[in-house]
Amino acid sequence: MWRFIGYRMLQAIPVLLVVITATFFLVRLAPGGPFSSEKAVIPEVRAALEAQYRLNLPVFEQYTAYLGDLSRGDLGPSFKYPGRSVNELIAAGFPVTAELGLYALLVALCIGGTAGIIASLRPNTAQDYVPMSAAMIGICMPSFLLGPILILVFGIYLDWLPVSGWGDSPGDKVLPAITLGSAYAAYIARLGRAGMLEVMSQDYIRTARAKGLPEWQVVVRHALRGGMIPVVAFLGPAFAGLLSGSFVVETIFQIPGLGRFYVQAAFNRDYTMILGSTVFLATLIVLFNLLSDILAAWMNPRLRSQFGDR
Amino acid sequence: MRWRALKFLWLLVTSFSLLACGSSESNVAQGNRAGILHFGNGTEPQGLDPHVVTGIPESHIVRALFEGLTVKNPYTLESEPGVAQSWEVSADGLIVTFHLNPEARWSNGDLMTAQDYVWSWQRALSPAMGNQYAYMLYPVENAEAFATGKLQDFAEVGVKALDAHTLQVRLNAPTPYFIQLMDHDSTFAVHRPTIEKYGVATARFTPWTRVENIVGNGAFRLVDWQLNRRIVVEKSDTYWDQGRVQLNGIVFYPTENISSEERMFRVGQLHYTQTVPLDKIPVYRAMQHSPYVNAPYLGTYYYLLNTNKPPLDDVRVRQALSLAVDRVLLNNTVLHGTNLPAYGITPPGTLGYQPPKIFDHDVARARQLLAEAGYPDGNGWPGLALTYNTSESHLKVAVALQQMWKDALNIEVTLVNQEWKVYLDSIDQMAFQMARRGWIGDYVDPNNFLDLFLCGGGNNNTGFCDPQFDDMIQRQAPRARSREERYTILHAAETLLMEQMPIIPIYTYTSNHLIHPSVHGMPSNLMDSLNFKYVSLDKDWKAAD
């Protein structure tokens, strides 16, 4: 097992290096620069600004200097927010995005898992079609539509929940978590149903039933662990997706997360911020994929044996 | 079993909703009682250093924390005392003397001195500072030479502290709007010991503007700054005019998404919104006691014409395009009647100045001009590309005009959509035939719009160059002896500009806000300028049913 983890860690290094290099040169290739502005910038001012951000150096020197800073964990100063470092902006936004992502994942698991299991128990009946149709709607409904609808109903007409904010008033985390989690709930429902259906037709389930166990015990104690493997494999990428894809929800609900900074950085040509957040998120994605692989291996003995860990 | 689970779920939902309801006193109700204004501020500010930041959201906060030598009266837009309690302009208009209020203090208790201004202006003008608004100080003698690195010695720049409370400024030429510029962020004084404690004077990256470090001189002081969440200021007890300040504090929210901002206003989380979504305007207009406020704004929306490239190098083609545009129809349909049709570059009523109107919507004349230019009924038309930056509303305007030109002149115009920064580069390099542009004035004077079109000006972007026009703007107007005489000269210059038509003016911007009826002291004005010192909240405000 440890050899497997070590091997995967080593694999991550070239992946990250490619990500850094590609991002570094791509942002510089994009037309327009961080200092293009609606009012003409006089050459002297532009030169002074470029010197402060090392943009006056040859590109390759900028690249090596950036790698040097990166190896010390310094992501550089932000272009858009002078006086703030990229490290600081990520440190401010990431905990919020992670918390939102976590809640969204819980929502997705509760709703999606339950729906998937219920659907799988009586395949091709109303008990299957209803949750699965709802899941289809969940996948198709974009969060920029679902968010405002939830706000209108629960925030404005019923006045139960705040329409925006994060941690400012009780309950303001509910709607964002549901909005962000619902699309993933739909995926989880479909994956869970498929996994459960496969497991429920296995011999060991028939054995469990033959022993005379009540149906709920068959499902909970025997089928669930095997049936949820596809869901667990999906969780790693899903959480990474939640972290990097929360921009829309953060904007709708005015949440001070990383997603807003990340997308704004691209519009602003905030080179260091784009690079910093990309590197940071890429690292996280690599890490979560690794984690979900390990978890899947733990749940599936057949996979475990492949790592020669008996 | 299943029934019991359902019952539990129902209990959970109802108890939860009770919890949420119990605590739902709105920001507005709470704020009215405590004297706290909840202000939708558009975006997260780039920073709070007056010599670094450039945007409007930044300027709202900077003006709460700092104050200029003069401030603008929000009702009249005329200058009134700020840090300077009085000022005189010499008879020849070249020397301005400011007398600082001896009571003016920094928020740490230090007294403000004329020397603070000399040092701050040196900082604001230093090339190393990279201050994009340094040109606000260019009317000062030798300021431009110093800012562009041609002059090294700041002693030669025309600003001098005669004594602790007297600041003398020498100007290049009489500049009637110079006093107004003292209300612009980049002419503000900053606290030298604080800045030098955290780095060299011209460093952009130091933490001197953080909550725990910043020292300002405004009516409020910074108490909380959470990135992308809120900025909180409270009434300052060192401000010289604190008797006038009625608010106890302001909370600024970064409200990037205008639909979210409108929803926040609707549930009472905000007193004031930065703007209003276009499709919500008819709804708010129809309301009784509507919180919707719409007023002319010192900005013009226009199309740049590249006069160096055919077919727009022909003045007749430029005029034909402009005459074929039905601005009234455009405003009434596409723009929901929120803006004002424009026939010149200067917004109407700029401190008494009215722009000329030398043409109107005239299809027959437009067709005739186009025929004279060699394209009768659009025959032989080489095609024309219109560049605009990505935005729903720019697209709508462009499509409407494209159709008007097709109907009136039978010519094809293609639309080129560019992302913001790409578009900025195209404008800067004049890599376009026709392009959308907007200009928002920095100070209330027609000069601010007309001097854009000086020969080779950085924001001219059209290739327009006329020595007679330059002479009127640069030589004749500054020497005028009265406001009337000066306006007559500027009027003639603008007439000349519109005859040559290097731009197609489309509309004058308006400001659009939702302002809660409990808020007083936020009058509409051309600059959309507000001074928080004037703002108060009605403690006992109740919704009238």
Which residues of chain A lie closer than 8 angstroms to B229, CB-CB?
166, 168, 256
Which residues of chain A lie closer than 8 angstroms to B21, CB-CB?
159-160
Q: Please report the pLDDT score of residue A242 as a whole number.
A: 84
* Substitution target from B257, B258, B304 for chain A, most A beta carbons within 10 A: B257
Residues A25-49 have pLDDT tens digits of 999 888 888 888 887 788 888 888 8
pTM given for the model: 0.88
pLDDT at residue A274 above 70?
A: yes
* Bridge partner residues of B170 (DSSP): B95
Highest mean pLDDT among A215-229, A278-292, B247-261: B247-261
List the single residue in A32, A92, A254 with the smallest CB-CB distance to B227.
Answer: A92
Query: Which candidate, B126, B42, B510, places its Cα nearest to that of B301?
Result: B510
Q: Do B149 and A44 touch (CB under 8 A)?
A: yes
pLDDT at residue A199 above 60?
A: yes
pLDDT band at B278 (very low <50, low <70, confident <90, very high): confident
Question: How large is the average pLDDT for residues B59-88?
Answer: 94
Which residues of chain A lie closer than 8 angstroms to B419, CB-CB?
32, 267
Percent of chain A predicted with pLDDT > 70: 96
Angstroms from A246 CA to nearest CA on chain B: 15
Question: Closest chain B residue to A91 measured between Cα atoms?
Answer: B227
Residue B421, chain A, CB below 8 Å: the answer is yes
pLDDT band at B9 (very low <50, low <70, confident <90, very high): low
List the single residue in B23, B267, B424 with the smallest CB-CB distance to A38.
Answer: B424
List the single residue in A44, A93, A170 with the smallest CB-CB distance to B23.
Answer: A170
Helix, strand or coil, per DSSP, at residue B520: strand
A21 or B478, higher pLDDT:
A21
* ipTM tops 0.95: no
Cα dist from B202 to B122, B126, B139, B191, B335, whole Å: 10, 7, 22, 13, 44
Region of B432 (left: φ > 0; alpha: ψ -120 to 50; beta: rest) is: beta
Angstroms from A36 CA to nearest CA on chain B: 6
Question: How large is the average pLDDT for residues B512-532?
Answer: 93
pLDDT band at A122 (very low <50, low <70, confident <90, very high): confident
Look at strands B220-226 and B340-341 and give their pairing: unpaired
Angstroms from B383 CA to nearest CA on chain A: 25
Q: Please report the pLDDT score of residue B6 as a whole number.
A: 53
Query: Which candidate, A140, A89, A108, A96, places its Cα nearest to that of A254?
Result: A96
* Substitution target from B39, B61, B263, B453 for chain A, most A beta carbons within 10 A: B263
Residues B452, B347, B345, B354, CA torsion sign: negative
Q: Do B257 and A30 touch (CB under 8 A)?
A: no
Query: Which candidate, A79, A193, A80, A175, places its Cα nearest to that of A136?
Result: A193
Residue B279, chain A, CB below 8 Å: the answer is no
Q: Six-digit token pair at A71? A: 């190896």
Residues B417-449 have pLDDT tens digits of 999 889 998 998 899 999 999 999 888 889 999
Which stretches of B56-104 are DSSP H helices?
56-65
Angstroms from B173 CA to nearest CA on chain A: 22
pLDDT at residue B146 above 90?
A: yes
Q: Please report the pLDDT score of residue B192 as a whole number.
A: 95
Q: Please report the pLDDT score of residue B21 as a whole number.
A: 44
Residue B148, chain A, CB below 8 Å: the answer is yes
How many Cβ atoms are within 10 Å of B106's Cβ, its own excluded?
Answer: 21
pLDDT at residue B10 above 80?
A: no
Which residues of chain A lie closer than 8 angstroms to B132, CB-CB?
37, 39, 41, 45
Q: Please report the pLDDT score of residue B8 as a whole number.
A: 52
Question: How large is the average pLDDT for residues B224-243?
Answer: 94
Cα dist from B22 to A132, B17, B49, whole Å: 36, 9, 41
Angstroms from B130 CA to nearest CA on chain A: 5
Q: Do A83 and B20 touch (CB under 8 A)?
A: no
Which residues of chain B lie closer than 8 angstroms to A84, CB-CB?
47, 227
Residue B47, chain A, CB below 8 Å: the answer is yes
Which residues of chain A lie closer than 8 angstroms to B254, CB-CB?
254
Q: Please report the pLDDT score of residue A273 as a whole number.
A: 93
Contact B309, B433 (CB under 8 A): yes
pLDDT at residue B219 above 80?
A: yes
Residues B406-415 have pLDDT tens digits of 999 999 999 9
Q: Please report the pLDDT score of residue A245 as a whole number.
A: 77
Distance CA B157, CA B121 (A): 10
* Bridge partner residues of A250 (DSSP): none
Q: Do B428 and A36 touch (CB under 8 A)?
A: yes
Question: Closest chain A residue to B27 measured between Cα atoms?
Answer: A169
Distance CA A25, CA A34 (A): 15
* Bridge partner residues of B99 (DSSP): B86, B166
Q: What does residue A53 show for φ and ψ, rounded to 5 degrees?
A: -110, 15
Which residues of chain B lie closer than 8 angstroms to A163, CB-CB?
260, 263-264, 266-267, 269
B376-382 long-range contacts, Cβ below 8 Å, gap at least 24? B377/B410, B378/B409, B378/B410, B378/B411, B378/B412, B381/B311, B381/B410, B381/B411, B381/B412, B382/B310, B382/B311
Residue B19, chain A, CB below 8 Å: the answer is yes
Exposed, middle or buried by CB within 10 Å (0-12, 13-18, 19+), for A261?
A: buried
For residues B135, B141, B143 and B145, what is the CA-based torsion angle, rounded to 10 degrees?
A: 110
Residues B335-374 have pLDDT tens digits of 888 899 999 999 998 888 999 999 999 999 999 999 999 9
pLDDT at residue B34 above 70?
A: yes
Distance CA A288, CA A243 (A): 11
Contact A275, A27 (CB under 8 A): yes
Angstroms from B88 CA to nearest CA on chain A: 32
pLDDT at residue B211 above 90?
A: yes
Residue B127, chain A, CB below 8 Å: the answer is yes
Distance CA B477, CA B475 (A): 6
pLDDT band at B376 (very low <50, low <70, confident <90, very high): very high
Count how many pairs of residues, chain A against chain B, have C-beta atoms within 8 Å. Answer: 152
Helix, strand or coil, per DSSP, at residue A243: helix
Q: Do A31 and B421 touch (CB under 8 A)?
A: yes
Q: Do B264 and A40 touch (CB under 8 A)?
A: no
pLDDT, mean over chain B: 91
Angstroms from A92 CA to nearest CA on chain B: 7
Q: Do A52 and B419 touch (CB under 8 A)?
A: no
pLDDT band at B1 (very low <50, low <70, confident <90, very high): very low
Q: Lowest mean pLDDT of A243-247, B151-155, B160-164, name the range.
A: A243-247
Contact A96, A256 (CB under 8 A): yes
Question: How large is the average pLDDT for residues B58-83?
Answer: 94
Distance CA B95, CA B160 (A): 11
Could you say which residues from 171 to 230 on chain B have a Cβ atom under 8 Å away from some Cβ of chain A?
204-209, 226-229
Q: Please report the pLDDT score of residue B15 as a whole number.
A: 47
Residue B257, chain A, CB below 8 Å: the answer is yes
Look up residue B508 and give its amino acid: T
Angstroms from B123 CA to nearest CA on chain A: 13
* Bridge partner residues of B71 (DSSP): B80
Terminal Cα distance for chain B, rounded: 49
Angstroms from B206 CA to nearest CA on chain A: 5
Percent of chain B predicted with pLDDT > 90: 74
Q: Six-digit token pair at A274? A: 């784009």
Angstroms from A162 CA to nearest CA on chain B: 8
